[in-house]
Structures are given as structure tokens and as C-alpha cells.
């Protein structure tokens, strides 16, 4: 099986997460900070060794999950047509988790880091990357805007993901600006709600316009429809 450069990069981030945790382990306190509120105050801790190695384990788990999912795709939902894009998306997600691990470890050893602001910027950049890829998704069983209407029509799938991609990029830019200018989490919440909600409604409206009626979900076969 050929391993793509993106997969090698993702694996590198996973390994680097464990190396970083091991290198800083002796300098970490008994209770490692793992969560911050909107004001930048630590409001969650985890004891060693989980506080040190929990985030790398999570990164590794997400990486393995993203590797496995394409290989268990049912017939007709394979991602071969956008495998390269999927691999890049995987690397972006793993890189984001690597950054979160680094922030927690640095804060744990006493480095002053504006965690909420950095997280907002990182989430925004992740949204921009995912939004740029989204228009290239083909039908699959685990990623994308999977509504009854996108799954029922290739045209609805395509148009909905093009719109969703633009909205994700816009939401990402809003998040980046919120982090840079310390605007707090409200712009993040609103932008994500819009980016997630509008495509769902759009897919329904577009399907009704193209097909003349909404799909039944789950679909009914002819025999069950005519049975008495």
C-alpha cells in the first residue's frame, strides 16, 4: 500500500506529540492544565501521566480513525476520487491537534501563552483549509454535509458542498480575526452556526427545486409502497 506524503506528515505530527510530551514531562506539575475558559483562565486539570500523554494519545487515535474510515467505506461510498484531498484534510486535522497538545504542554511548564486567542486562530485556519477542500468531496459515508437531500442527488451534493466550502472559509476568517483582535468566542459560535446550518437548509430547498418534492428517508421500495 502506497503511503502518501500527507500521511507521512500526519504520522510525523503524531510522533512529535509524544516526543514533546516526553521531553517536557519532568517539568510538568502533578496536575497539568487541560482546559481554559473564555477569559483565558484555567478551569480544568488532569493528573500526570494522563495530563502529559493524554493529548498525544488523542491525536494518535484521531489519526488512526481517519486512516481506518476510508477502508471500511461501503460499496458506492469510496473516497478514491478525492483521496488526495482527504489525505490533506487529515493532515490539517492532525496538525491542529498537535498544536493543541503543544499549547497545553507549554502552559503546563509555565510558559505564558494566550491559549483562547491562539485556539481561535487555529480553529479559524482549520476551517479555511476544510472549506477550500469541501467542494471536492464526493459522496461518502462519514465526511461532508450528509443530509437526506445531498445523499439523494449528486447535483444537490455538489452545489451544497460548494456553498458550504465558501461559508466555512468565511467562518474561518471570522474566527482568525476574533483571535487576533481578542473578540471572544461569540463570533466563533455565530459563524459556525451559520456555516453548519445554512447548507442544511439550502440542500432541502435546492432538492425541492430540482426534483419537485423532498425525498423519503429511508427510501421506500416499490414493493413496500404498494403493499396493503
Instruction: For residue range 23-61, list pLDDT tens digits in order.
Output: 999 999 999 998 888 777 888 899 999 999 999 999 999
Instruction: Sketch the domain layout of the chain as residue ranges.
Output: 1-113, 115-220
CB atoms within 10 A of CB 218: 7
User: Which helix (DSSP H) or strand (DSSP E) does residue 43 occupy?
Assistant: strand 42-47
Instruction: For residue range 114-126, list pLDDT tens digits in order.
Output: 888 999 999 999 9
CA gap 200, 150 in Å, rounded: 9
CA gap 98, 149 in Å, rounded: 35
Mean pLDDT of 203-217: 76
Specify the pLDDT at position 212. 65
Q: Which three cell numbers stand for residue 156?
A: 444537490
Specify the pLDDT at position 225. 44
Amino acid at each position: 500500500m502506497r503511503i502518501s506524503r500527507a500521511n507521512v506528515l500526519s504520522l510525523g505530527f503524531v510522533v512529535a506529540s509524544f516526543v514533546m510530551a516526553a521531553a517536557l514531562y519532568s517539568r510538568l506539575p502533578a496536575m497539568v492544565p487541560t482546559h481554559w475558559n473564555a477569559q483565558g483562565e484555567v478551569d480544568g486539570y488532569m493528573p500526570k501521566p494522563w495530563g502529559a500523554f493524554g493529548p498525544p494519545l488523542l491525536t494518535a487515535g484521531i489519526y488512526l480513525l481517519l486512516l481506518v474510515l476510508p477502508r471500511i467505506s461501503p460499496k458506492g461510498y469510496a473516497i478514491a476520487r478525492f483521496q488526495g484531498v482527504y489525505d490533506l484534510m487529515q493532515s490539517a486535522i492532525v496538525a491542529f491537534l498537535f498544536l493543541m497538545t503543544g499549547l497545553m504542554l507549554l502552559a503546563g511548564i509555565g510558559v505564558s501563552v494566550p491559549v483562547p486567542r491562539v485556539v481561535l486562530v487555529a480553529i479559524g485556519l482549520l476551517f479555511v483549509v476544510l472549506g477550500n477542500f469541501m467542494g471536492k468531496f464526493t459522496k461518502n459515508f462519514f465526511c461532508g454535509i450528509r443530509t437526506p437531500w445531498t445523499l439523494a442527488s449528486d447535483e444537490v451534493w455538489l452545489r451544497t458542498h460548494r456553498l458550504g466550502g465558501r461559508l466555512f472559509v468565511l467562518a474561518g476568517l471570522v474566527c482568525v480575526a476574533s483571535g487576533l483582535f481578542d473578540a471572544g468566542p461569540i463570533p466563533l459560535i455565530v459563524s459556525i452556526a451559520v456555516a453548519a446550518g445554512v447548507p442544511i437548509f439550502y440542500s432541502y430547498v435546492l432538492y425541492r427545486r430540482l426534483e419537485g418534492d423532498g425525498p423519503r428517508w429511508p427510501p421506500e421500495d416499490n414493493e413496500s409502497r404498494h403493499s396493503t
